Structure 1
Amino acid sequence: MSGGWSLARAARVVAFKDRQPFRQAMFAYLAGHRRTVSAVLAAYRPVQGTPLSTLAIAGYGVIAFLGLDAPDADADLWSVAAYRNEERQFEFVQRAAPELRVAAMRLRPRPTLRTLRATAAAAGAIVRRPSRLGPLWRTVERHDRRDGFLVACRVASTLGYYLRAHRELASAHGQGVRAVLVSSDSNPYAMGVAAAARALGRRVVYITHGHLPEGPPPLDVDLALLDGPALRRVYERAGPVRGLVVFKGAEGELRPMREKRPPSRGLVVGVFASILVDWPSFWARVLEIEAALKPERLIVRLHPNTVIRDPAALRLKPTLRHLEISGGESILTEDAAACDLVVAGNSSCHLTVLRFGVPSVYVPGLDTVPHDFYRFLEDGLIPWVTRAGELDYDAITRFYDAPDWPRRFADYDPAYTIPGEAPPAPSAVGEGAVRLALLSLLGPREARS
């Protein structure tokens, strides 16, 4: 088992990630477009660093404690997720290793008798030994003074999730749980649950739900299920990689790159939005894309995160007869299936689209995410133009006809078959490799008492 894990480390990881410019930009974007968030910040700033603000932020820890519950079913692994893309990864794990039972911890559950009992027990422990609260209070206070609202609130949430997960895993109901399964390397719920598991001698399994930009926290889990070598290098540049690493391939259906659009019909172009968007600029780029490619259909897919999305996004859209809007509720490949070409900014959606066999291209100005956030351009994974007016469908398809492109893509997704070479062995990548790694780590269910 990898070492070095503790509640303090989990809090440091969350704070480290949330201090980074991109997370701060996301929070600033949210505050600029949500009146409730703006009002909370306006009330917080005058009292930051005082006992009053620390007490208020500690409330987020209480909310996290109350907002996590154990699964009802007996299981080998407990998973925890806040987003559908994380849940899809856990479904993949269950398909890969049907011998092992995965059950989901509940975030924001309805109050239950177990929740009330856990709350009462925690309150009783504090009353009996109030000194236990001191280190937690000082942690929240330190981040409140030094880092401000976002970081302090998320650190407090990490503490709350840890305390609740520790209680549930240590209970009679949680005794049979051998590992926890997470799909985030820095969110409070994942870090709190992972730290609680390590404190109790359980395993931690981490599975990614998309490619990551530079600057993740160092990877320290028992088993990491990563897309491919390119993602492993991202973690290696962040520090030593501890624990077993297995490549699962990128998410989504694997298809060969489709043939060029037949001349008998018009072009169908998808423009897939990133999470951070300046909407006037975005729609201006959409008009330029429409003018350059003259598509028969133009499908704009919004990012599925509606919390961050500006409520005014659709009010600003231009009037185009052939413009279609996808709210992002469906799986990304459902929208990609209709497209001959996908245009996107700095988004990991390029990987899923390419795996699905649809060519994609990067156009600047579609988002406010830092340029080449995922190193796709540096690694020659996708073509790009300096402005939307330069888009040329034939030139884009020629880029993907290059003999060495499949090998470049296989570095990100080792399940991808390189023409002229044998496909990877089932035990080397994908479900087969994941199953072998999980059974090696935990053993088959029937072999345990």
Structure 2
Amino acid sequence: MKVHCRAFKGLFIALVAAMLSIANLHAQSISGTVVDADNKEPLIGANIAVKDANRGSVSDTEGNFSIEVRAGEKLIISYIGYATQELVVGTEKELMIQLKQENLLQEITVTALGISREKKSLGYSVQEVSGSNMDKARETNIVNALSGKVAGLTIVGNPSGIGSSARVTIRGERSLNINSNQPLFVVDGVPISNEFRGSSGNSYQDVDYGNGAGLVNPDDVASITVLKGASAAALYGSRANNGVILITTKSGKNTKGIGVSINSTVSFENVLRLPEYQNIYGQGLNGVFEFKDGNGGGAADGVDESWGPAMEGQLIRQFESPTSNGFRGGDVGNLFTSIGPVNLDAQLAARGEITATPFIARPDNVRDFFETGVTQTHNVAISGSNDKSDFRLSYTWLDQTGVVPNTDLQRNS
């Protein structure tokens, strides 16, 4: 029995050895050197592996390696910071492999005063948004374009129409003064104010003149970096205690020859949703209404709620009714002494007597008031560089009309 076991064991070993010999029948040992494609310096520790096989090697201090491989197999050569390369093994016994460096700019961020550092070496929170994301689904105010792209960043747009301002806060409010909660904006190293006037909550705001950062042209932005927290913005002093938003504009650097880019966008906007109004009762109070001057001189004509009579076509003097002097009933003129002098009797005499008209519902009057807003943006940029200098020239024409009649914005930048 023992003799048979020994014979079987010897036969099994011989069979395995034969199989290994057949598997490696066509394998050959090749050697090579891995170097940097630019300076030809050897790369230490480059990985050389046979694709779909468990064989590999590592380059030594001189960049040299040796590996067993069959003709027709693929070698995969990789090194940190360099582009991975694949090649098919032929009859060569010596290989010279040149790896090209990859662009690592995505791991670099611009911090305070324009200093570039690796993100992993920073001790505070930094988030960057590429400029290519700023001109998609374009906003006329670039601040609004940051909405939803940066964690902890809150954008509150003013609903005053086109050219309106937008307020920014990072990680919540810190002051009851809304202008004291915004981060510092820095454009190519130059601090700008993003404050807006008339919106402090203690007075009426007749006109929204926009905010400073909203004047930055999205077509000229290369990247936006948000520095969160006081430690991130320490180099900018107390103005940056709410954080810093760094805007870096495009340049002609790394442009081969002369480059020309053209970017045009057209967008349309409409009012998304309107309230549902009742169309049974009209303006007034306790079922009574008749217009005289809109200031209480008539029957409940100073009331803007709809508690008046039912709109059944009866003849009532109204705001839109014609007058004997060719005006409307509502063309009374100024009624506020804070604006200017008021002589109500003379103003009513100049307007004329109101002719009563049918008191009927106009269910589409609010919807018909609004228009389709159109925004056009056209940009042309020329850039170039050489080994000593670079340049970039850009021109953008913005033309925007709002959904409210007689509102428009034109800007050249």
The TM tier, using the shorter chain, reads: under 0.3
TM-score, with structure 2 as normaliser = 0.23
**Structure of higher CA gyration radius:** 2
Higher helix share goes to which structure? 1
Higher strand share goes to which structure? 2
Q: Name which structure has the greater RCO, CA cutoff 8 Å, separation 6+.
A: 1
TM-score, with structure 1 as normaliser = 0.22
